[in-house]
Amino acid sequence: MAIDPMTDFNAKRRQLLTLAVLGGGGIVCGGLAWLYHASKPSNKAALIGNSVGFNQRFHCVVADWQGNPIYQIALPQRAHGVAISQQSTMGFSDAVAFARRPGSYFQVFDYQTGLKKQLIQAEADRYFYGHGVFSVDGKFLLATQGIKQSSQGLIGIYDVEQDYKKVDEWHGIGIGPHEVIGLNDGSYAVGVGGVHTQGREALNLDTMQPTLTRLDQTGRIISQVGLGDKKLSIRHLGYDQHDLILCGQQYRGQPDDYPALIAMQQGEGELISLNAEPEQWARFNHYIASIAVVGDYVLATSPPGNCYGIWSISQNKLLELQPLPDASGVVAHNGEFFVSSGSGEVVTRSPLDDVQRFNSTIRWDNHWNAIPS
């Protein structure tokens, strides 16, 4: 029986992509040799992230640069992102851990002492999406939220001086806002995922309208830009301090399709996808967790893909694709990347070389934040 060449080609392509997802043949990772180092606690607070412990125990962890824990703040449920105040400009050292979507709480604590402060509950008809940020003056905490019945998005505004009392809401940004970050001029960017959910079940995948949305300091929408493929749910954001925003997506389309999962926007311009081959995008398993920028280089992680990638912005080219079990958070500091993982491994590296790996006792979960110096 004759074999249709196109059928044979597609079968081989599916086989190749399946191997790529599993970390097998067809994908060549960067050939850097790992350097293993003993990790000695420095007791200097540098990083904050959430952890998943055994027996459903969840914490927010303050750690040094090698991931050694200094404080572990017990949390009532699994958390996702963290907002950090800047003591030098805001005058206080609060951090806020946000419950994972659909979240019911956020926990405030002092990252210098580990002292627990306010535990704020969402209203009965609201939930948290897992991210927030302090206003540039430190007077307010902004949190991404949704209305339970519709997933219509809003930004909850909490007054820091009134013990994080909710004082306002910004509406009209669309369904499913996820991460919000502050920009240099005091405005904000929001990754609006576009997905209406009941619990964590998606209900509107055929009508999604994800956008990268910019808001001014009063919550007025400055711009909303989407991608051509509406099944790319815009979720996590990175920023390079030159008004270049990177957004990472979760793909909610066909499981055998592997579109670009990261895009960049300069100013209020259009979104431009970062380049990689479909076989390389397959390694990320349809999800980008965290993004950081060092100069011309972008590092993005994927927990379900058990990997991270490094791109050159100017070349728009994937330079490395490295394995890392449950690759989770990444931050940039002094020209280096610091990467966490759910396996407890911590990787520190310059963009192109000098890779070091440390052992951590923490099962890091999704995101890291650097404490401002």
Helices within the chain (DSSP H only): 5-21, 87-90, 278-282
pLDDT digits (tens, 9 = 90+) for 226-282: 999 999 999 999 999 889 999 999 999 999 999 999 999 998 899 999 999 999 999
Main-chain phi, psi angles of 182, to 5 degrees: -90, 145
Take residue 334 and report the two structure tokens written for it: 């002094």
End-to-end CA separation in angstroms for the chain: 69
Q: Residue 17: its pLDDT value, please? A: 35
Which is more confident, 33 or 136? 136
The backbone torsions φ and ψ at residue 299, rounded to the nearest 5 degrees and listed phi first, read -120, 130
Q: Whole-structure pTM over 0.85, yes or no?
A: yes
Let me know: does 325 contact 332? Beta carbons within 8 Å.
no
How much is the pLDDT for 5?
A: 35
Looking at per-residue pLDDT, the higher value among 123 and 19 belongs to: 123
Q: Going by DSSP bridges, is the β-strand pair 177-182/165-175 parallel, antiparallel, or unpaired?
A: unpaired
H-type helices in 174-303, by residue range?
Answer: 278-282
Alpha carbons 176 and 71: distance in angstroms, whole number:
32
User: What does the pLDDT read at residue 21?
Assistant: 38
Please say whether the dihedral angle defined by the alpha carbons of residues 237, 239, 243 and 245, taken in this order, is positive or negative.
negative
Distance between CA atoms of 116 and 143, rounded to whole angstroms? 19
Give me the pLDDT at residue 268, please: 86
- Tens of pLDDT, residue by residue over 54-111, are 888 999 999 999 999 999 999 999 999 999 999 999 999 999 999 999 999 999 999 9
Q: What are phi and psi of 330, to 5 degrees?
A: -145, 140
What pLDDT score was predicted for residue 37?
54
Among candidate residues 109, 108, 135, the one with its CA nearest the CA of residue 121: 108
Q: Confidence band (pLDDT; 50, 70, 90) for 40? A: low
pLDDT above 50: residue 195: yes
Residue partners of 67: CB distance under 8 A and separation at least 6:
39, 47, 340, 344, 346, 358, 360, 362, 364
Average pLDDT of 11-23? 38
One-character DSSP codes across 292-328: EEETTEEEEEETTTTEEEEEETTTTEEEEEEE-TTEE
- Going along the chain from its start, the domains and CATH numbers come out as 81-296+358-370 (2.120.10)
Mean pLDDT, residues 118-147 taken together? 98
What pLDDT score does 353 carry? 87
Where does the pLDDT of residue 314 fall: very low under 50, low under 70, confident under 90, or very high at 90 and above?
very high
| Residue 144, amino acid | T
Q: What's the pLDDT at 22?
A: 42
- Confidence label for 199 from pLDDT (cuts 50, 70 and 90): confident
**To the nearest whole percent, how much of the chain has pLDDT over 70?**
89
Q: Mean of the pLDDT values across residues 128-153?
A: 97
Contact 323, 29 (CB under 8 A): yes
Percent of the chain exceeding pLDDT 90 equals: 84
> Among 64-68, 198-202, 223-227, whose mean pLDDT is lowest?
198-202
Helix/strand/coil for 81: strand
User: Which three-class secondary structure state does DSSP give residue 6?
Assistant: helix
Split at pLDDT 50, 70, 90, the class of 41 is: low
Residue 19: what pLDDT?
39
Identify whether the C-beta of residue 136 lies closer than 8 Å to the C-beta of residue 163. Answer: no
Segment 160-176 shows an average pLDDT of 98
d(CA 289, CA 295): 20
